[in-house]
């Protein structure tokens, strides 16, 4: 495990209390901070919104609200979710991918199965967030470039400047105004 696990805050949602206790114990033994436990999907969503953990480990089959529906609601918080289930039907896997699960484990599983899945989920989630940030930055840069191109066109037309002259005029005006 990496050193980062000591800072990772986790909510565990599992309706079977013995399994939940085992998961919590495993995570705590590996340095995770289990900040909340839930026995149903509604409580899992409530804890996710209240505690904003770094990770959710959640069973699919739970009372009140299933783990897939809970994961869908939690997705707006951009919290990675590791889904657990005793069933491995393709439709569950497909739905888990659709709701944004970062990992999917079939029960019974061992700590040697759970911990790598968590590490990979956290890593993929960090990569996804970095890509979203990069996309946003590129979008902003593209919009700025479009504005500069329009300004150059207006200057070229109104002041009869060449494109390089118009660009230099914009640069000078920006520097003069400290933009």
- Digit-coded pLDDT (tens) for 100-146: 899 999 999 998 999 999 999 999 988 888 888 888 988 898 898 88
> What single-letter DSSP state applies at residue 80?
-
| pLDDT, position 1 | 46
The answer to whether 56 touches 43, Cβ cutoff 8 Å, is no
22's tokens: 């085992």
The secondary structure of 83-112 as a DSSP string is EEES---HHHHHHHHHTT-SEEEESS--HH
* pLDDT tops 70 at residue 173: yes
Beta bridge partners of 38: 13
Tokens 């699919």 found at? 60
Q: Classify domain 3-130 by CATH architecture.
A: 3-Layer(aba) Sandwich (3.40)
**Greatest distance between any 2 Cα atoms in the chain:** 78
| pTM of the predicted structure, to 2 decimals | 0.75
Sign of the dihedral defined by the CA atoms of residues 140, 146, 149, 155, in that order: negative
The CATH 3.40.50.2300 domain(s) of the chain lie at 3-130
Report the CATH fold assignment for 133-177.
Arc Repressor Mutant, subunit A (1.10.10)
| pLDDT, position 71 | 96
64's tokens: 């009140």
């Amino acid at each position: 495990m990496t050193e980062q696990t000591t800072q990772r805050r986790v909510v565990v949602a599992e309706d079977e209390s013995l399994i939940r206790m085992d998961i919590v114990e495993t995570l705590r033994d590996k340095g995770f901070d289990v900040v909340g436990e839930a026995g149903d999907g509604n409580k899992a969503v409530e804890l996710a919104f209240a505690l904003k953990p770094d990770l959710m480990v959640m069973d699919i089959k739970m009372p009140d609200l299933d783990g897939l529906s809970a994961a869908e609601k939690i997705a707006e918080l951009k919290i990675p979710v590791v889904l657990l289930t005793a069933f491995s039907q393709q439709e569950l896997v497909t739905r888990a991918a659709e709701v944004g699960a970062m990992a999917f484990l079939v029960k019974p599983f061992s700590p040697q199965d759970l911990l790598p899945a968590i590490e990979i989920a956290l890593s993929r989630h960090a990569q996804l967030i970095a890509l979203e940030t990069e996309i946003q930055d590129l979008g902003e840069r593209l919009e700025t470039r479009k504005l500069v191109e329009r300004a150059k066109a207006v200057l070229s037309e109104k002041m009869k400047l060449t494109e390089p002259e118009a660009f230099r005029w914009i640069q000078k005006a920006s520097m003069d105004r400290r933009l």
